[in-house]
Structure 1
Amino acid sequence: MISLLFTLFFIAQVLTLKGKEKAALYTSFFALVISLFWLIHHSTDQLSILL
């Protein structure tokens, strides 16, 4: 999951360098939403994982 997030943020950076700012913003927003979902999922998990 973390590698997916890193890949999405990397793709957003590459899109920015290529001049496709709108696509980069959408990719960054999508990665941010997934990051929040991942954080909420792990913070409410029954296993005791220290964040």
Structure 2
Amino acid sequence: MQCKHVCLLHLLHIPDSKWTFLSMVFVMGLPQTHRGHVSIWIIVDRFI
């Protein structure tokens, strides 16, 4: 088992406006819905 080095936390930059810092991921391989969909698209805006 390996341990990571202990370090100071870094403050996150606070965005100036919406839609500046986005995270997106596709989740695939889900059970099929009644409409035939098997995936979802997740979008997260980190506006604080």
Q: Which structure shows the higher strand fraction?
A: 2
TM superposition score normalised by structure 1: 0.19
Structure with larger RCO (C-alpha < 8 A, sep 6+): 2
Larger Cα-atom Rg: 2
Q: Which structure shows the higher helix fraction?
A: 1
